[in-house]
Amino acid sequence: MKALHPNALRLPLHLAARLWLALLLIGLWELTADAGPGSYFPPPSVIVRALHRVWFSGPASDFFLTEQARSDFPVSFGHLLSGWVLAAAAGIALGLLLGRSERAHDYLQPLLQLCRSVPPPALIPFFVVVFQLDTSMYVVTIAFGAVWPVLLNTLAGVRAVDPVKLDTARVYGMGRTAQLLRIVLPGAAPQIAAGLRIALGFGLILMVLSELVGTTSGIGARLVNAQRTFDIPSMWAGIALLGLTGWLLNAAFLLVENRLLRWHREN
């Protein structure tokens, strides 16, 4: 028999060292929870079964998605993605403007501080009045909440760009646009990326919040619906689904970020 390479055990051991407490707690939960119908804290196995039944028990040809998942996921994630992209575009553009122009900064900063102080969920009633329950309501709600981390991080990143690099660019004949695209934007990219990642989390929160209001489609709406019909396992399944989604989005973003900004980690 071939001897096991010493490195072969490293990853499982590493994972075990990191995960044992979480697994232990989930195990305790499983053993102590009340599995009976109507329990407010059903054990994890019941939640996983509900998660599977409600969202992931569809035919293989549909990637195992149930009909409900196929109707809700595109709605919810469509809102999230559109809102996030809108927030990213607006946040980066405004951050560049404010970071590069002292005058724009002086004029707009108080106004932006004021807007930022408003908790985005407080604006949902207003957005409902303006946009009704149209897609734009969800997208604008998400964008309004998610824009701040992008804007503030872009602003900080742009202001931190090394003046020597800008001097270098000027000496070598780069105009303002070239400086912006080739020096300022890449220089601020690590901070912008951090802002975009935080914005993704904010966006997910606001996606759910906006779907709790008077709508019948989307993951958030299912969650409220399950709660109203006392289908506690399905409600928990929705919560677990959202938690998993948040974790997956963050992990996917980190993967892309690490790849694109490898130079930053190496410095």
Partner 1 sequence: MLTIDALTHSYPGGHTAVDDLSLAVEAGELVTVVGPSGCGKSTLLRCIAGLQRPTGGRVLLNGDEIRDVPDSLAMVFQSYGRSLLPWLSVRDNVALVLRHRYGSRRERRAAALEALAEVGLADAAAKHPGQLSGGMQQRVAIARALAYGPKLLLMDEPFGSVDAQTREDLEDLLLALRARTPVTVVLVTHDIDESVYLGDRVVVLTGAPGRVLAELPVGLPADRDQIKTRQDPEFVRLRAEVGRLVREK
Burial class (CB in 10 A: 0-12, 13-18, 19+), 211: buried
- Amino acid identity of residue 82, one-letter, is S
Beta carbon of residue 164, minimum distance to partner 1 (angstroms, whole number):
4
Beta carbon of residue 231, minimum distance to partner 1 (angstroms, whole number):
51
- Amino acid identity of residue 50, one-letter, is A
Q: Does 167 bind partner 1 (CB under 8 A)?
A: yes
Q: List the one residue out of 41, 13, 6, 29 whose CA is nearest residue 235.
A: 41
Beta carbon of residue 176, minimum distance to partner 1 (angstroms, whole number):
12
Q: Does 256 bind partner 1 (CB under 8 A)?
A: no
Question: Among 186, 205, 217, 227, which residue sits at the site for partner 1 (rule: CB under 8 A)?
Answer: 186
The smaller minimum CB distance to partner 1, of residues 185 and 205, is found at 185
d(CA 101, CA 209): 35
The smaller minimum CB distance to partner 1, of residues 140 and 184, is found at 184
Q: Does 267 bind partner 1 (CB under 8 A)?
A: yes
Torsion sign, CA atoms 175, 176, 178, 183: positive
Q: Which stretch binds partner 1 (CB under 8 A): 26-34, 85-93, 179-187, 191-199?
A: 179-187
Q: Does 165 bind partner 1 (CB under 8 A)?
A: yes
Torsion sign, CA atoms 252, 43, 55, 227: negative
- Amino acid identity of residue 67, one-letter, is E
The smaller minimum CB distance to partner 1, of residues 67 and 167, is found at 167
Q: Are 245 and 204 in contact (CB under 8 A)?
A: yes
Count of positions on this chain that bind partner 1 (CB under 8 A)? 20
d(CA 44, CA 57): 18
The smaller minimum CB distance to partner 1, of residues 184 and 221, is found at 184
CA angle 246, 251, 255 (to 5 degrees): 150
Q: Does 173 bind partner 1 (CB under 8 A)?
A: yes
Binding interface with partner 1 (CB under 8 A): 162, 164-165, 167-168, 170-173, 178, 182-183, 186-187, 189, 261, 263-264, 266-267
